[in-house]
Copies of this chain bind each other. A is one copy, B any other.
Amino acid sequence: MSITETQSHFLENYDIHEFDIPLTSVDMTIFTIEDDLLKVLLVKRAQFPAKGEWALPGGFINLKSDGTLNDTVSRKLKEKTGVEISHLEQVATYGSAVRDPRGWSVTIAYMALILNENITLISDESSEEVVWLPIGDIQDNYQLAFDHNVILADSYQRLKNKVQYTSLPINLLPQTFTLSELQKTFELILGYNIEKKSFRRRLLAAEIIVETGEMRVGSNRPAKLYCAKASSKEHFFQRSIEGPRN
């Protein structure tokens, strides 16, 4: 037999269930800004295990319909929020014998940023409630299912790190925005204030946003509106942005 024939033979007789393999799922930390707070989407689980507990949304890969892991995650997000993702990235994969009572399990954790506009959260048979909760509130007062507190903390840390040297927060704002609004978004995530002049210099020098010509009018002096260049929703700066030195 040739190598190819032998391999075909091998595959015909291959039974995936013959070996012990871990349960494998995806989970996601979906961030948005609402009422000047950084919030995360949580679901109350309607099924065992961890029935009735708060958890990050997630689920199993559909081996029939999902071609890739990204398909699985996009599908899950759409099931809960009905919207497209603005920014999605893998954070880390967690696997151990004890993190799920059903046995050895692996979960691939993602972080997503979405714009909070016209979103209606959707419950289904797997989740009896779906809500946005402020990140600080969750970390202080919520005991999440499985190891989701750890996953949440890691995702938040990743977000904070990236906000120090990328333009990620643009993904949390609408099409057009003022520099003050953008700075406010950075500050909400980082948890400290940024010097106005440094911030503006940095963003304008990067040439990743463009004046629309319109102004935001409302309270006090009108502000220039900007929109992001298509390719610049994840611009990497050369240096990190710092907080106040004293």
Q: How many residues of A contact B (CB 8 A)?
A: 44
- Residue in chain B with minimal CB distance to A94: B69
A83-106 contact mask (Cβ, 8 Å, vs B): 1 or 0: 000000010111111100111101
Closest 10 CB pairs of A and B: A69-B95, A10-B48, A68-B96, A20-B63, A93-B93, A63-B104, A17-B17, A93-B108, A24-B24, A67-B97
Q: Interface residues, chain A, CB within 8 Å of chain B?
A: 3, 6-7, 10-11, 14, 16-17, 19-24, 48-49, 51-52, 60-61, 63-64, 66-69, 72, 90, 92-98, 101-104, 106, 108, 238-240
Partner of A22, one of B52, B61, B67, B239: B61
Give the Cβ gap from A157 to chain B, nearest Cβ, in Å: 13
A102 to B7, CA, bound (A): 10
A238 to B195, CA, bound (A): 18
Q: Is the CB of B23 within 8 A of A22?
A: no
A49 to B4, CA, bound (A): 10
With A24-B106, A63-B20 known as contacts, the answer to whether A52 contacts B3 (CB < 8 A) is yes
Could you name 27 residue pairs across A and B whose Cβ atoms are closer than 8 Å?
A3-B52, A6-B48, A6-B51, A7-B49, A7-B101, A10-B48, A11-B49, A16-B103, A20-B64, A21-B21, A21-B22, A21-B23, A21-B24, A21-B60, A21-B61, A22-B24, A22-B63, A61-B95, A61-B104, A61-B106, A67-B97, A68-B96, A69-B106, A90-B92, A90-B93, A93-B93, A238-B240
